[in-house]
Chain A
Amino acid sequence: MNPTAGAYGLLAEFSSATALLDAARAARSAGFRQLEAYAPMPVEGLVEALGSPDKRLPRLALIGAVIGGVGTFALQWFSATAIYPINVGGRTPAWPGLIPSTFEMTILGAALAVFFGVLLRSRLPRLYHPIFNDAGFSAASSDRFFLCIEAADPQYDEPRTRDFLERLRPLRVNVIEA
């Protein structure tokens, strides 16, 4: 059986953020598209080197804020005017008194949208991932930087891609089992 048949991709390990950044740029300009870079912290310019940054979160926050705010205002309005009219004081609808709760829930709606948005868009939680099959990958959360060219890339060809990665002067290159 061909040993590369079930491969997820090739993983190159680097010792610094700048080496990873250079490698990501080189791989991108060599035409690779199914790339992922792993680092123990945010690296400036890395997302741009791999493609484009994710700019959806602010929009999600807006949607969450609108749902939270409009929903809470509507809940108060209809419960106090139609479902259980409270005909006292400033009379319903005394809308200014409904604003504090509306404000709090607007913020909460936006925050929930951001929090779940960031997790879902990063495909988390996902406890198993092929990348964890690499024995040295645990350093990715401490002080090592990794570039993975995935087998799904149209240009992927194990020996040639490995040669390409070796030329980027990594600490090591390893095949990842799927």
Chain B
Amino acid sequence: MSSLARSEMLSDIGPAHEPVLPGAQSYESISAKISGIVLEARPARWWLISFAACSALTLLFFGSIGYLFYKGVGIWGLNVPVVWAFDITNYVWWIAIAMSGTFISAALHLTRQPWGVSISRFAEAMTVFALAIAGMFPILHLGRPWFFYWLMPYPNVMSLWPQWRSPLVWDFFAILAYLLLSLMFWYLGLIPDFATLRDRARTRAKQVIYGLLALGWRGEARAWQRRQSAQLLLAGLAVPLVVSVHSVVGLDFSAGNTPGWHSTIFPPFFVAGAMFSGFAMAMTIAILLRRAFDLGNFITDRHLDNLAKLILAMGLVLAYSYVMEVFMAWYSADRYEIYTSLTRMRGPYAPVYWALMFCVIIVPQALWSRRVRRAPWLLFVISIVINIGMWLERFMLIVTSEYRDFLPSAWGMFYPTRWDWAILLGSIGFFGWLLLLFVRFVPVISMAEMRELLAHERGAS
């Protein structure tokens, strides 16, 4: 972004708005506060307790995966006709959470929203971790996971190539591109902060490790200018990529002719759902971080308020999609489509359907109220409810389209086993484990961009 445009944007924060950086801040106080979280000698008690809990769940996760690889997918409750259940539900849920981190950061960067500065770092971290977890599930759900690399095109003695027109192959490329781009975007933002940690660290080990991670960053004028230019380019590339990645996830379903999946609304519908659950997860993490590290001066009520408005907007798009799905089923006059829609509402999985409608459509309507948007504990509860709802949504979408096959003789129910639950809970624990390591060893807010923001706020006043 040109520096001129950036200053114009920042001068837009007139007196009518709350400042993005309240309280008396200086370059030194920003560095001291944010790097202090990382460089403090001993972790806090809450950190140790949550780390122990998440480590236990992480062990459960990898232990279950080990048993899965040993025994096979039969340890799960799935069987014909329900061959996709918790595995793919978890996959879509995690990848949706991953969608919005880089999107938030990139879109707020491109639209020059100064409030993006304090949330972009952990939102990007959320993306990288959730995407890494999401990427494991397609491999786990393969009956023979050791052949997963057959998705990759490479010259081999079998002279075999991927089926290029399969959405599953597109998915491989989409996740690969998104994971690498998110990592690069995140790391590019981190380099100057690693340099700050290198320079402020007291122990030799930290100096060496952060020194290596900083790659020898010195802060030359031209290096900053290149970094800004690169961030702008990567942000511009990330936004269409995000939309394409989750569209491809939608195509994984809609390319088949299964009633309930075979719908052109899926790609945009999946993108909206992904933004929605990802914003909710960003909200959850923002509130926890703010509370845990006393970051009220960086993640302000205004940040939460803005995130809540985004969640509300996405929730409305999603509500529209649900209505359209039912309408299109009726309008198609296809008896299987109509039947699938009706059994969702009245069949054995009806409680899931109505629970998700409550979590995803009714609950977010509370965000119309300014008082709710200003109450962090309420926002926290709402954001958790939304993500539970979004998990239920994927489960409903996947299982209720499969369990009533075309022929009644092929109908069957899905009931999760303890291994299904172990892998779901374990993956959540592993996500928490990665996040806890992140907040302990990496600055949770970009110090470089905070300084830039402060410089402009000073210049404007």
Contact = CB atoms under 8 A, between A and B. Distances in A.
Interface in A98-145: 98, 100-101, 103-105, 107-108, 110-112, 114-115, 117-119, 121-122, 124-129, 131-132, 138-143
Contact of A111 (B170, B181, B195): B181
Contacts of B187: 115
Given A80-B164, A105-B173, A119-B215, A111 B220 contact: no
Interface string B217-235: 1111111111111100110
A37 interface: yes
Contacts of B9: none
B4 interface: yes
Q: Identify whether the interface residues of A are mostly helix, strand, loop, or mixed.
A: helix
B160 A84 contact: yes
Contact of A143 (B28, B163, B188, B222): B28
Nearest to A102: B173
Contact of B164 (A57, A76, A112, A126): A76
17 contacts: A38-B218, A41-B219, A41-B449, A41-B455, A44-B3, A80-B161, A84-B161, A104-B176, A104-B244, A107-B177, A114-B233, A122-B222, A124-B215, A125-B216, A140-B219, A141-B200, A142-B28
B328 to A, nearest CB: 23
A151 B185 CA distance: 36
B343 to A, nearest CB: 31
Interface in B1-57: 3-4, 6-7, 26-28, 31
A89 B240 CA distance: 29
A178 interface: no
B347 interface: no
A140 B218 contact: yes
A129 to B, nearest CB: 6
B220 A38 contact: yes
Interface string B93-107: 000000000000000
Given A41-B452, A122-B220, A122-B226, A100 B3 contact: no
A101 B222 contact: no
Given A104-B176, A111-B181, A138-B200, 11 more contacts: A41-B451, A42-B224, A44-B4, A50-B222, A98-B164, A107-B237, A114-B230, A115-B184, A115-B188, A118-B188, A122-B226
Interface centre among A50, A75, A84, A124 (most CB of B within 10 A): A124
Contact of B224 (A41, A61, A89, A114): A41
Nearest to B163: A86
Contacts of B167: 100
Nearest to B165: A97
Interface of A: 17, 24, 36-47, 50, 53-55, 57-58, 61, 72, 75-76, 79-80, 83-84, 86, 89-90, 94, 97-98, 100-101, 103-105, 107-108, 110-112, 114-115, 117-119, 121-122, 124-129, 131-132, 138-143
Interface string B435-459: 0000000000000110110010000
B252 to A, nearest CB: 11
A142 B226 contact: no
A88 B324 CA distance: 34
A36 B221 contact: yes
B230 A117 contact: yes
B263 interface: no
A103 B244 contact: yes
Contacts of B181: 107-108, 111
B164 A39 contact: no
Contacts of A61: 233, 237
B159 interface: yes
Contact of A141 (B199, B228, B244): B199
B215 A126 contact: yes
Contacts of A98: 164-165
B121 interface: no
A58 B233 CA distance: 7
A47 B26 CA distance: 24
B159 A84 contact: yes
Interface string B388-411: 000000000000000000000000
A109 to B, nearest CB: 9
A111 to B, nearest CB: 4
B216 A142 contact: no
Given A100-B244, A122-B223, A141-B196, A105 B153 contact: no
A17 B455 contact: yes
Contacts of A111: 177, 180-181, 184-185, 234, 237
Nearest to A103: B244
A76 B164 CA distance: 7
Given A50-B221, A107-B177, A107-B240, A79 B153 contact: yes
Given A40-B451, A41-B451, A57 B177 contact: no
B320 to A, nearest CB: 25
